[in-house]
Amino acid sequence: MYNRPMEKNIITQYFEEIETTREYNGYFCSVAEAITIVILGSICGLKNIRQIHQWAASDRISIFLKEKFGIENVPCYYWLLCLLKLIKPESLNRCFVRWAEDILPEKREGMTIALDGKTIRSTGHMGSYESPLHIVSAQVSELGITFAQKSVDGKSNEIPAVQELIGQLEIGGCMVVADALNCQKKTAEAVIAGHADYLLCAKDNQETLKKDIEDYVQDETFHEEMEKAGSTEKSRDRIEKRTAFVTNDIGWLAGRGDWKNLKSIGAIHTEFEVKGEQSSEWHYYISSRRLTAKELLYYARGEWSVETMHWLLDVHFREDYCRVEDKNVQQNLNMLRKLAINLIKTYKERSASKRAISKIMFGCLLDPSCICDVFQN
């Protein structure tokens, strides 16, 4: 019915030696098979374990799973949930990183590494969590591929988690971008120690730094002397015009020595027009690289890629409404959904498809044979 089975060298090989919190002999359904079912269901855009189970247990899909992936038995909803609970998140993360490392280019010099955290808000209302579960992700912006993550209890712990994550990544020659929360001296030091460069957004958590850059940029004389570059984007009822200002002349900046290898400062002025209504905002930046204005525009966009992934988790998978109270399940689901998004993005790149991710998901749901095209890496 579905032609020949998938080859053994697909993504499932990365999960064959997954570690569990207690011994499990693979009775009825192995952990690797359960992971495969969840990834496949997520590729189809299914939002939770119950939907994935109902889909996998249907006659058509159970035949598909058997013929293409060798999955003889589909566990019931509660058994599938139990198997996800058994998986050690740190073990799954190692498998996730190993897979991502294999599909990413060996040479990443010049690429943008975006770091950002996301709180799974539903966990803040559960008695089993001392504080909401917060997950920091690292993504190669040019490819939209998430390749590492670290979970912490609460957003207040994101800063040291980001610094630790940076120390674990191969980032040599890359530009690391992060939001204002991570505009920290130790974060800058961690990036430089990894032989990379940083672009950090300065806001009120670095009030003096932000004020100094703001005063310089807004000064009429200095403003005119700064290098400039602009871009305009139009989509439906929205127009965004961005203008970047950069200077490598920072001898005047107080405390510049506190920021490792600081070489340039900049600003981006964004003007919005939505259905005839206009607004604008300024963002201020520091970097360890001597940037041009065009480079500032380019690298600043890098942070948006990881925010797009978070938007998919929130809006499409409704992660913030997940009521599962087990931390292992929440973390494991988060990783497997990211892996599904990664697979769809690599498929888009490989096939030069212009279809939206949601449309690819819907196509896979309608036609299971499309899943194989996405799943093959």
Q: Residue holding tokens 């212009």?
A: 354
In the sheet with 112-120, reading across from the earlier edge strand, the strands are 145-153, 133-140, 112-120, 175-178, 197-202, 277-287, 264-274, 238-247, 227-235
Whole-structure pTM value: 0.86
SS3 169: coil
Please compute the mean of the pLDDT values over residues 4-21 and round it to a whole number.
Answer: 70
SS3 56: helix
- What is the rounded distance in angstroms from the CA atom of residue 302 to the CA atom of residue 325? 33
pLDDT on residue 235: 76
pLDDT of residue 137 exceeding 60, the answer is: yes
- What is the rounded distance in angstroms from the CA atom of residue 280 to the CA atom of residue 274? 11
- What is the rounded distance in angstroms from the CA atom of residue 152 to the CA atom of residue 136? 8
pLDDT on residue 9: 42
pLDDT interval class at 128 (50, 70, 90): low
For 124, the token pair is 């803040």
- What is the rounded distance in angstroms from the CA atom of residue 349 to the CA atom of residue 104? 12
How do residues 298-330 score in pLDDT, each as one tens digit?
999 888 888 888 888 888 898 878 777 777 888
How do residues 201-232 score in pLDDT, each as one tens digit?
999 889 999 999 999 999 988 988 999 999 99
How do residues 274-307 score in pLDDT, each as one tens digit?
887 889 999 999 999 999 999 999 999 888 888 8
Within 13 Å, how many C-alpha atoms sit on residue 213's CB side?
27
pLDDT on residue 120: 80
Contact of 334 with 135, CB cutoff 8 Å: yes
Please compute the mean of the pLDDT values over residues 182-189 and round it to a whole number.
Answer: 94
Strand spans (E) along 175-226: 175-178, 197-202
